[in-house]
Structure 1
Amino acid sequence: MAVWRADAKGITVSVRVTPRASRDAVLEPKGGWLPVRLRAPPVEGAANGALVRFLASALDLPRRDVMIRSGEAARLKHVRLEGDPERLAEALERLYRASP
């Protein structure tokens, strides 16, 4: 099962968020989802905001190009990344391969 789907304007990533982690990190994909650990708590949208900021910073994207498409109140989310799909896919792979 693919973790992300590409189209001409970007990619949509299936993400599984673990809030209140010891550090922000992207792990190797499991079960069709990209695990993302965030230090932020899952209250009042804090984890969603942290997810957008973290992915934007890690992938060198403006925050406006990172949008949560579904799952705002759940751990499983679909996140839209706008930009060159090949560059974004390569950047995501580098990001999770660099995590311990």
Structure 2
Amino acid sequence: MQADELIMPLRGQGLIRYSDTCMQFLERLDPETWILRVVLKPGADRDEVLGIHAGRLKISVKAPPVDGKANKALCIFLSRSLGIRKKQVWIQRGLQSRNKDLIVSGVAGTVFNALKHVQ
């Protein structure tokens, strides 16, 4: 792995740096495929990364947790943030839970660099 740290903008707190040692929410499967562990907060005011919670990346989405709308909004938010197509992000585990494991494929380089631009 080539990245040393992840820099993420958090609501009202400026930039927060996370070193590789606390990146429990990210696991590399191969050079372009990752498992991203997420805690989802549906029904929020806006789509955003909130930080780290219990070893997972906490993300809020506006969509309600009804009929898979929040899951779909999460995948769309991540694909846009990472600059990849929607079909390159899918939920592997946790369809009906707030704790989700997502597969992110086709990310050249590291997800760390792509996540720097999440807003």
Which TM bucket (shorter chain)?
A: 0.7 to 0.9
Query: What is residue 6 of structure 1 aligned with on the other side?
Result: 28
The one of 50, 53, 71 equivalent to 1:30 is 53
Q: Which runs of 4+ in 1 moved over 4 A?
A: none
User: What is the rounded CA distance, in whole Å, between the counterparts of 1:84 and 1:45 in structure 2?
Assistant: 25
Query: What is residue 80 of structure 1 aligned with on the other side?
Result: 103
Question: More displaced, 77-86 or 20-29?
Answer: 77-86
Query: What is residue 76 of structure 2 aligned with on the other side?
Result: 53
Q: For the aligned residues, what is the CA RMSD?
A: 1.6
Q: Given that residues 18 and 38 in structure 1 are in contact (C-alpha distance below 8 angstroms), is that contact kept between their aligned partners in structure 2? A: yes
User: What is the rounded CA distance, in whole Å, between the counterparts of 1:47 and 1:39 in structure 2?
Assistant: 8
User: What is the rounded CA distance, in whole Å, between the counterparts of 1:26 and 1:88 in structure 2?
Assistant: 14
Instruction: Return the structure number with greater helix share.
Output: 1
| CA radius of gyration, larger in | 2
Say how many residue pairs are matched.
Answer: 96
Instruction: Return the structure number with greater strand share.
Output: 2
Letter in 1 for 2:79: A
Query: What is residue 3 of structure 2 aligned with on the other side?
Result: none
Summarize the Cα distance change of 1:3–1:77 in structure 2 as closer, same or farther, 3 Å threshold.
Answer: same
Shift of 1:53: 0.7
Q: What TM-score does the superposition give when structure 1 sets the normalisation length?
A: 0.86
Q: What TM-score does the superposition give when structure 2 sets the normalisation length?
A: 0.74
SS of residue paired to 2:51: coil
Instruction: Specify every segment of 5 or more residues in structure 2 that has no aligned partner in the other structure, as ranges.
Output: 1-21
Instruction: Specify every segment of 5 or more residues in structure 1 that has no aligned partner in the other structure, as ranges.
Output: none
